[in-house]
Structure 1
Amino acid sequence: MTPPTHPSRRTVVTALGAAGFVALPAWPSKAHAAGGPVLDTHPATEPSGTHVRDVGGTNVVFQYGVVLPAFDGWRTHEPTREYLSLDRRWRFRFDPRSQGLDEAWQSPDFDDRAWGLVDVPSAWDLLDTPGFGSQTAPFGKGTAFADGYAWYRTVVDVPASWRARHVRIAFLGAGYSAEVWLDGVHLGKHEGANSPFALPVDGALRPGTRQTLAVRVFRRASYTDYTATTPQPVTDDHEMPYKPVDYWPYAGLTRSAWIEAVPRVTVAKLLVSGANGRVEARAVVENHGDSDFDGWLTLDPGWGSGARPAVVPARIAARSAGVVRVSVGVPRAPRWSPAAPHTLTARATLTARRPSGPRVDTLSTRYGIRELTIGDAQLRLNGKSLFLKGLNWHEETAAHGRAMTPAEYDRELGHITAVGANFIRNCVYNRHPYVYDWADEHGVLVMDDIDTMWLNTAQEKLQTERYGLARALALTMAWNQHNHPSVILWCLQNESEIDPDGAPVYRAWLADMKAAVKAVDLTARPVTWASNTSNDPAFDLADVIGFNEYFGYFYGKDADLGPTLDAVHAKYPGKPVLITENGTWSVAGTHGPDTTEGTEEWQAARFTAHWTQVAERSEFVAGFTYWVLKDYKQRAGYNQSYNGISVMGLLTFAEERPKLVHEAFRKAVNPRS
């Protein structure tokens, strides 16, 4: 085999290690592919209108003019609500010339019988790309390279009983952006391939009839020509990420979708914080009716909490949202920890007139009791110092891309526990809710990321001062994952540009996102990011110092890591340090001396050299996150001879066979075990 073209993403992000800051290359502001547009249109600000309002002293996230609701409907059906699954076969058609709007493909009167069919959820990349997971298949062919617009259509029979309901359509993921119509009425647009969203449909709903649901999904091309000798990148300053990056941007309706009919007075979200023998809950209640609601809310902290339900008044004005606060002592409740991942289920119940009156709505959520603190350069859980033996991982399989099945998640995540890891970094986007539930149940700690990867200064400035998509992604991350005890860190960005002269643009951007997550997180989780340098001038804003390092591979020597860690600790003596990435590559089955680049022996030896230096400094280094669990697909312009597969994993991509570094990682002893 021809040696892979490396170093993957670092040929784009020129890492300077501990010596200085990173200057990213200039990218064109626009690019169009021959034969049709490849750039989407954007409003003045991100299209969902994501923002925070203070509601009775609690910061609440709103999108599309309503509270951003809980997305537990993919697995939990409340008895007071009705659900209509949209996981089915839809009519589907690519729209390479962007003619769909002009021809009214969103209209219920449009004849789509000649269209093809596609399953939802799925990634259209796998619709017709033979050999997608093979290293020997040709790169640049198939629907994996079909970019621009594509349309989905289906019909739904709306129950007549929904006339007295508030109804929304929920999507767990649509990549990259999606516009939605119901019977030709435009409901809204969403940007961000990996964040769930819910669109209220009350104005377009006709209960007791059959209605047509249409979705137009967009994915920007990565390059104008994927097989060109010098490919021309396609960029869009407004998008996240705004340029080609080092993972595969799967397209389509990649996660579950459903229609949810809730009572007009409804518990939209239940925020729970459990620590120090108490449960603090905030029930966010919406009243979509024309009359004030005067009732009661009962919070049951759950079987196993050792506490009785608490009952408090709930008064919500008509056409408004309110927050009902409840505090319950749970001194006998078990704590959540990796060794004993005890979860509880809290349930909020709204009743009319009196506590035992007619039930109006319910909402349940899983949570855990645990205390997460930082002190003396250590990250502590329940008073015990942590060392994070971690793995970066991408959410994909060769068979289904990002539209993974539960069995695939179980197999993929099972690899993490099999090598003794206690920590995962969700690089560089939010995951399906299944992942957070799995981590809660298996005691695996999580750092959650958003899509803010490889931004340049111009894009950071645009996001902070006008467009606001980065802020929206940070807000929705903290809001959606709030109750998961496994989530212990918020990661704000990955390897983005640092402007000179004190980095005013970079610092303002980070401060804006940090303020967003801190505003809505009742548990005050630490904030970090995956910097491209150990000399990041904004580390004073971080609760945990996080940086990616590739000593001995892209710069310097392996032995430089230890002194670099010592220097960072000397500058920030009270803050824990976390290696957010380190790794090298090997072609599976290639063997030789551990000094020969690309052999399995070389990859394993490089890991051991770095792990040893980190483990020796566990008094201030909180962990090490290896890049990466499994070889992964990317459209970043390298390894095309391997069908775009980056070979930096412990495991191979399609077959998931272990390399030698897999065993080296498994044998690495956690210094705090």
Structure 2
Amino acid sequence: MKKLLSCFVVSLGIASAANAQGTQWHVIKERIVTRWATQVDPKAPLPEYPRPLLVRSNNWINLNGLWSYAITPKSQAEPTNYEGNILVPFAVESALSGVGRNVGKDSLLWYRNTISIPSSMKNKDILLHFGAVDWQTEVFVNGKSAGKHEGGYDPFSINITSYLKKGAKQDITVRVWDPTDDGPQPAGKQVVKPEGIWYTPVTGIWQTVWLEAVGKSYIRSTKNTPDIDKHTISVAADVENLQEGDNLKIEVLDGITVVAQQQVGARETAVITVNNEKLWSPSAPFLYDLKVTLVRNNRPVDEIKSYFAMRKISMAPDANGIQRMLLNNKFLFQYGPLDQGWWPDGLYTPPTYEAMVYDIDQLKKMGFNMIRKHIKVEPATYYAYCDKVGMLLWQDMPSGDRGNGWENRPGILDHGTDKNRTPESEGYYRKEWNAIIDALYNYPSIVVWIPFNEAWGQFKTTEITEWTMKKDPSRLVNSASGGNFYPTGHIIDLHNYPHPAMPRPDVFGQKQVLVLGEFGGLGLPLEGHTWQKNKNWGYQSFKTSEEMFKKYEAFTERIAQLIPLGLSAAVYTQTTDVEGEVNGFMTYDRQVDKMPVDKLHEANVKLYDPALVK
């Protein structure tokens, strides 16, 4: 499945307050915005099919658009009057929401919409899907509670069939509470009082909301695991309302040609041989299409389309006994930026699909083959695009419970100090990390999981790392990027600003892959393109692009010297400026590349020279 589908267009009824004020939505331009802000259509924002790894191309409705909203005291019941419009799926604090207001731990954010369910969905089960809502959510359908969810970064669905009333019109109400950094939940870089490396809160719906009509029995998810050494792809499915005797028919396609197929019991895992397989890599990101059909009494009950890649991420010692990170059993130096995925107009949410892929395309043009997705989870369409164009991804777990610091440094083998998190905080972390891995498991571009960043909330490091390795043995685990070092996981990760450095090969290299998880951070504020007028900063500031590139080029030359010593990967801070940070390759509004893209490409691709490792 290589193309994203446009939304199935139907007429949506909007709650009365939204109808009354439908013409009043506008982008709040108190700060800089991207050029894509003007392309946002309030009638159909982010219309793309939101689940590219499990596609049913008909009988779905995108519910993004204008909803009514209200902010009330936490103790108050549902408001009788709503305050105006909010553009879903943009967080209430964002410019693109049309609201631009903070909520806080003592208040609730309410959404309301009246939707129309078309006749084509009659006699089907109706699923209400949310890509992500930050943080604690309760959904009401026609005044009755239909479901709850806690988690700001994982998708969730509610079967609302039993709550629907006769007729097409249905009332949907969503209640959200989000304490940001005043609560026990993972919150990433959000804080109530933004400054420095901490940013604006993101409250409420921030990914696509949509309806889907399915049968009583349907495929909820699949789990696809390639094994290039055995030339197989393993496929298992989670089926709702599974019946005895149900089977799965699985077809592997190269374009329109079926290259392999198998039918197994619906509770079984199919292990399918893929002869003469085409391997996926940054230089050749080939994707096989996948069709999975639920079969009952020799008749199809449900069918989904997906895709997968034949690729392997692993580690092995080089000729000097230093562990190296391998892609498809060969060493490939992985190099890319720290990428926080923030937008001046949408905060967590890109204004358009085109804006989102622009960042990835620019990084490819700059010569990078990897992105470290920093303490944030992206919409599914982001990962699908990285799969399509061949961009490796390291995925962080969004942090929470910041407070403990570093207790040791590279070269010292003694343990750091784990944070003593509350049972509530620990429970939220475990639940959401598990849900994130489940949601992202099938994306071949993801090659590394990072449970902790810089000791921020780092707890029970060995246990969490080994749990992650056991849950997904198909990827590498970087236990604590730049955090307190423990002899666990596949990777030891140093952060060093601004100059490149690496963990000591003689101490760590025999057992763990050596990476530079953050460095650089060269700053260049450009007037007219900054989030704020002052207090802008980088780890080392420059006045001209020429001076900045000269220093950057020297950094890449130093990295080229570290690769033969055992360095397997490096992460430069960062893709774009973010609020007060002005250390991006691009300005926060994506209007200016701070260094010439062709020169960056020339400097970066030298690091992939196989001759650097004998």
Q: TM-score range by the shorter chain?
A: 0.7 to 0.9
CA displacement, residues 117-171 of structure 1 (integer Å, 9 cap, x when unaligned)? 12212222234899xxxxxxxxxxx825454422110112346776754433211
CA displacement, residues 214-256 of structure 1 (integer Å, 9 cap, x when unaligned)? 11223436xxxxxxxxxxxx62234534973623333332211
1:660 Cα deviation after fit:
3.8
- Report the Cα distance in structure 2 between the residues aligned to 1:145 and 1:345, rounded to whole angstroms: 43
Note if contact 1:80-1:263 (Cα within 8 Å) is conserved in structure 2.
Answer: no
Aligned position for 1:582: 519
The answer as to 2:241 corresponding to 1:296 is: no
The answer as to 2:77 corresponding to 1:98 is: no
Gaps of 5+ in 2: 1-47, 192-196, 318-322, 405-416, 528-537, 610-614
Aligned-residue sequence identity (percent) comes to 19
- Report the Cα distance in structure 2 between the residues aligned to 1:412 and 1:596, rounded to whole angstroms: 23
1:116 Cα deviation after fit:
0.7
Q: How does 1:246-395 map to 2 (within 5 A)?
A: 246-276=198-228, 277-287=231-241, 292-304=243-255, 307-314=259-266, 323-353=267-297, 357-376=298-317, 377-395=323-341
Note if contact 1:164-1:264 (Cα within 8 Å) is conserved in structure 2.
Answer: no
Aligned position for 1:524: 474
The correspondence for 1:143, drawn from 94, 100, 108, is 100
CA displacement, residues 632-664 of structure 1 (integer Å, 9 cap, x when unaligned)? 12xxxxxxxxxxx21111121125312248676
- Report the Cα distance in structure 1 between the residues aligned to 2:97 and 2:126, rounded to whole angstroms: 37
CA displacement, residues 452-494 of structure 1 (integer Å, 9 cap, x when unaligned)? 2563359954366874121122212221121211111111111
The correspondence for 1:401, drawn from 344, 347, 352, is 347
- Report the Cα distance in structure 2 between the residues aligned to 1:275 and 1:239, rounded to whole angstroms: 33
Distance 1:126 1:443, change over 3 A: same
1:208 Cα deviation after fit:
4.3
- Report the Cα distance in structure 1 between the residues aligned to 2:92 and 2:424, rounded to whole angstroms: 34
- Report the Cα distance in structure 1 between the residues aligned to 2:122 and 2:590, rounded to whole angstroms: 50
The answer as to 2:594 corresponding to 1:626 is: no
Aligned position for 2:174: 215
Aligned position for 1:201: 160
- Report the Cα distance in structure 1 between the residues aligned to 2:270 and 2:60, rounded to whole angstroms: 28
Distance 1:259 1:665, change over 3 A: same
Report SS of the residue matched to 2:239: strand
The answer as to 2:589 corresponding to 1:654 is: yes
Report SS of the residue matched to 1:417: helix
Letter in 1 for 2:308: Y
Letter in 1 for 2:372: R
1:200 Cα deviation after fit:
3.1
Q: CA RMSD in A?
A: 3.3
- Report the Cα distance in structure 1 between the residues aligned to 2:377 and 2:553, rounded to whole angstroms: 29
Letter in 2 for 1:667: E
1:626 Cα deviation after fit:
0.6
Note if contact 1:77-1:83 (Cα within 8 Å) is conserved in structure 2.
Answer: no
- Report the Cα distance in structure 2 between the residues aligned to 1:202 and 1:461, rounded to whole angstroms: 43
CA displacement, residues 165-213 of structure 1 (integer Å, 9 cap, x when unaligned)? 4433211122233222112222333333332222233443346453211
1:597 Cα deviation after fit:
4.1
| Segment of structure 1 superposing worse, 329-338 or 600-609 | 600-609
The answer as to 2:488 corresponding to 1:544 is: no
CA displacement, residues 44-87 of structure 1 (integer Å, 9 cap, x when unaligned)? xxxxxxxxxxxxxxxxxxxxxxxxxxx97545885597323211
The correspondence for 1:441, drawn from 388, 401, 412, is 388
The correspondence for 1:88, drawn from 65, 69, 86, is 65
Aligned position for 2:83: 115
Report SS of the residue matched to 1:312: strand
- Report the Cα distance in structure 1 between the residues aligned to 2:433 and 2:454, rounded to whole angstroms: 16
The answer as to 2:529 corresponding to 1:572 is: no
**Whose relative contact order is higher, 1 or 2, with alpha carbons under 8 Å and at least 6 apart?**
1
Note if contact 2:184-2:424 (Cα within 8 Å) is conserved in structure 1.
Answer: no
Note if contact 1:470-1:513 (Cα within 8 Å) is conserved in structure 2.
Answer: no
| Segment of structure 1 superposing worse, 236-245 or 440-449 | 236-245
- Report the Cα distance in structure 1 between the residues aligned to 2:164 and 2:383, rounded to whole angstroms: 33
Aligned position for 1:671: 607
Aligned position for 1:192: 151
Letter in 2 for 1:98: K
- Report the Cα distance in structure 2 between the residues aligned to 1:544 and 1:586, rounded to whole angstroms: 29
1:435 Cα deviation after fit:
1.2
1:341 Cα deviation after fit:
0.4
Distance 1:430 1:478, change over 3 A: same
- Report the Cα distance in structure 1 between the residues aligned to 2:496 and 2:377, rounded to whole angstroms: 23
Aligned position for 1:180: 139
Report SS of the residue matched to 1:194: coil
1:329 Cα deviation after fit:
0.8
- Report the Cα distance in structure 1 between the residues aligned to 2:183 and 2:596, rounded to whole angstroms: 38
- Report the Cα distance in structure 2 between the residues aligned to 1:264 and 1:582, rounded to whole angstroms: 52
Letter in 2 for 1:125: E
Q: Say how many residue pairs are matched.
A: 521
Aligned position for 1:11: none
Note if contact 2:91-2:347 (Cα within 8 Å) is conserved in structure 1.
Answer: yes
- Report the Cα distance in structure 2 between the residues aligned to 1:571 and 1:531, rounded to whole angstroms: 15
Report SS of the residue matched to 1:618: helix
Distance 1:626 1:76, change over 3 A: closer
1:352 Cα deviation after fit:
1.4
- Report the Cα distance in structure 1 between the residues aligned to 2:584 and 2:57, rounded to whole angstroms: 46
Distance 1:460 1:185, change over 3 A: farther
Distance 1:494 1:302, change over 3 A: same
Distance 1:152 1:489, change over 3 A: same
CA displacement, residues 436-463 of structure 1 (integer Å, 9 cap, x when unaligned)? 1111111110011121256335995436
- Report the Cα distance in structure 1 between the residues aligned to 2:470 and 2:144, rounded to whole angstroms: 34
- Report the Cα distance in structure 2 between the residues aligned to 1:537 and 1:171, rounded to whole angstroms: 37
Report SS of the residue matched to 1:646: coil
Distance 1:129 1:446, change over 3 A: closer
Distance 1:174 1:507, change over 3 A: closer
Distance 1:596 1:257, change over 3 A: closer
- Report the Cα distance in structure 2 between the residues aligned to 1:569 and 1:479, rounded to whole angstroms: 36
The answer as to 2:446 corresponding to 1:475 is: no
Report SS of the residue matched to 1:577: strand
Letter in 2 for 1:282: A
Distance 1:671 1:202, change over 3 A: same
Aligned position for 2:560: 615
Note if contact 1:389-1:625 (Cα within 8 Å) is conserved in structure 2.
Answer: yes
1:342 Cα deviation after fit:
0.3
Distance 1:480 1:627, change over 3 A: same
Letter in 2 for 1:386: L
Gaps of 5+ in 1: 1-70, 131-141, 222-233, 315-322, 499-505, 634-644
Letter in 1 for 2:468: V
1:607 Cα deviation after fit:
3.6
| Segment of structure 1 superposing worse, 182-191 or 75-84 | 75-84
Aligned position for 1:599: 543
Letter in 1 for 2:74: S
Q: How does 1:452-491 map to 2 (within 5 A)?
A: 452=399, 455-456=402-403, 460-462=419-421, 467-491=426-450
